[in-house]
Amino acid sequence: QVKELVLDNCRSDDGKIVGLSSDFENLEFLSMININLLSVSNLPKLNKLRKLELSDNRISGGLEVLAERTPNLTHLNLSGNKIKDINTLEPLKKLPNLHSLDLFNCEVTMLINYRESVFTLLPQLTYLDGFDADDQEAPDSDPEADGDGLEDEYENGEEDDLDEEVIDDEEDEDDDLEGEEEEDGVDDEEEDEEEDGEDDEEDEADDDLPRGEKRKRNLEDEGEEDPEEEEDDEDD
């Protein structure tokens, strides 16, 4: 039931693929990057294989095996191999569904009119080295599958949450300020009432005193001396 198999950096045995057999009949994606592969001659029959990654190996030819073993191939990556001539690619004409071919870092890419020659040789191709015949770049994979759409949604959601938090904080601050002002107003009123109460108590206490004592007390409060005391001082 395996549909994808990645064997990158797993060294092959004398350029052969050990363990890979036709038992993987449901395989749709196979990656064998940098395994020191010399050819694809030992590739098993994989009728459902769509994508084949063979980058950074030592393949120089023998591509006719692909048409026989992987007839439904749509994407083939041969970047970083030993392919030098356009004619080496001719067996790929027998892959009618091949839409994308990568040959980065292969010597064949240094040839004059390389791109025009490959598109002429393989008319079924849409993209060569990531670009079509009009030099338009191949579109990226589905952004939702890569999680880009979720990331944007998360960022937008996060910004909305931040805005709501800022608004909530401002409302809380306004409520706190209003509460403090109300408390200050209550405290001021209570203090005024307490002071008025103390003054009333003093006035009531003064009313209970005899008239002479009351006058004497008032003079003392004002810092004045009693006239009778001044006369006594003069007589002395």
The CATH number linked to 66 is 3.80.10.10
Q: What pLDDT does 164 receive?
A: 53
Residue 70 lies in a domain: yes
Residue 94 lies in a domain: yes
Query: How far apart, in Å, do the first and last CA atoms of the chain sit?
Result: 131
Residue 53 lies in a domain: yes
pLDDT, average across residues 215-231: 50
In tens, the pLDDT along 182-218 reads 555 545 555 555 555 555 555 554 555 545 445 545 5
What is the chain's alpha carbon radius of gyration, rounded to the nearest angstrom?
48
CB-based burial, 104-138: b 16+ in 10 Å, e otherwise:
eebebbeeeebbeebbeebeebebbbeeeeeeeee
Which alpha helices (H) appear in the chain, and where do they start and end?
A: 64-69, 114-121, 143-146, 148-208, 211-222, 227-235
Q: What pLDDT does 177 receive?
A: 56
In tens, the pLDDT along 141-194 reads 433 333 444 444 444 554 455 555 555 555 565 665 555 555 555 455 555 555
In tens, the pLDDT along 26-35 reads 999 999 999 9
pLDDT above 70 as % of the chain: 58
In tens, the pLDDT along 40-51 reads 998 999 999 999
Residue 80 lies in a domain: yes
Residue 107 lies in a domain: yes
Which residue range(s) make up the domain with 45?
2-126
Number of domains in the chain: 1
Residue 136 lies in a domain: no
Residue 224 lies in a domain: no
pLDDT band at 73 (very low <50, low <70, confident <90, very high): very high
pLDDT above 90 as % of the chain: 47
Residue 221 lies in a domain: no
Which residue would you say has higher pLDDT here, 13 or 134?
Answer: 134
Enter the pTM of the model. Answer: 0.59
C-alpha distance from residue 216 to each of 201, 204, 209, 232 (Å):
18, 16, 10, 16
